[in-house]
Structure 1
Amino acid sequence: MTENPQISAVLEYIEARERELGEQAGQLRSRVEELTARLSELDAESESLRITRETLLAIPAPAPADETPRPDVPDHPAYQQILTALTDAGRPMRARDPCEALDLPILPKNTEGIRCKLKRLVARGIVTEPEPGLFTQPRT
């Protein structure tokens, strides 16, 4: 090459600097490859989540479960009064208790009439009889 020591020193510096820059560029290229791979992974996961969201939103809502039809309460107002007394009491009642709640005299004909109506409500599934003679509204 050249015999000039100053030019030789500059050329050596340039060669050393080129090597340094080459190494740094190689490291950066390697890092860029890693980041590009990671970016591809994140994009794929994001796309998967987007597709999942769209799929879930496209699923129709399930039809509501058919509710069991409520039994019909007899039309006579006494049945409504008995049910109101049971609801207001909030506890199981004997036939005598609705008589008192409805201000009926405690006579056998009244308690038997109420008991008969309570039994009819039990038969229709409106009231339950957890033990003989004890009536309550079913828990929902």
Structure 2
Amino acid sequence: MSDNPQISAVLAYVEARERELGEQAGQLRSRIEDLTAHLGEPDAESENLRITRKTLLAIPRPDPVEGTPRPDVPDHPAYQQILTALADAGRPMRARDLCEALDLPILPKNTEGIRSKLKRLVTRGILAEPEPEPEPGLFTQPRT
């Protein structure tokens, strides 16, 4: 060290500051290591998703099954809801029963709307309406 008290004070400050900066650098390096480890997790998951997408796109489409073609269901979501409700019930249903199953108010406009959709599904061969002898107005999925 120097004999000069001013230089000794400056040198002591420089040494203290060097230690302080060394500690800060060590803390920052530790944080960088933690962040790098955490960054690896989303990178790994992203890579897994990329591989999954690639695998799914590589799966060939199955050949269509020979036999009767499946009729096209109309695009409106109400038709899917009707078919789901019928499948869930597992029994023939009336338009009124379907209104209840679909949480629609039992009003003539709703019942007639459902009935017309049911009739449309019958004409497309998606649903069946048994003969009117035992009970008219029942709709069911056809036996396959």
TM class by smaller structure: 0.5 to 0.7
Q: Flag the structure with higher strand content.
A: 1
The alignment of Structure 1 onto Structure 2 pairs a total of residues equal to 77
Mapped to 1, the partners of 2:124 and 2:65 lie a distance apart of 22
Whose radius of gyration is greater, 1 or 2? 1
Whole-Å Cα distance in 1 between the matches of residues 66 and 88 of structure 2?
29
Q: 1:97 to 1:69 in 2, by over 3 A?
A: same
**1:45-84 equivalence runs, <5 A:** 66-84=66-84
1:65/1:104 CA distance change after superposition, 3 Å? closer
- Alpha-carbon distance in 2 for matches of 1:93, 1:105: 16
Shift of 1:66: 2.9
CA deviation string 1:39-70 (max 9, x = no partner): xxxxxxxxxxxxxxxxxxxxxxxxx9831000
Q: What is the Cα deviation at residue 139 of structure 1?
A: 1.3
Whole-Å separation in 2 of the counterparts to 1:135 and 1:101: 14
1:133: which partner in 2? 137
Query: Counterparts of 1:102 and 1:65 in 2: how far apart (Å)?
Result: 33
Structure 2 gaps, min length 5: 1-63
- Aligned residues: percent identity? 87
Q: Deviations over 1:79-108 (max 9, x none)?
A: 000000000000000000110011000000
**Which residue of structure 2 lines up, in the alignment, with residue 106 of structure 1?**
106
RMSD, matched Cα: 1.5
**TM-score, normalization: structure 1?**
0.53
**Unmatched 5+ stretches in structure 1:** 1-63
TM-score computed with the length of structure 2 as normaliser: 0.51
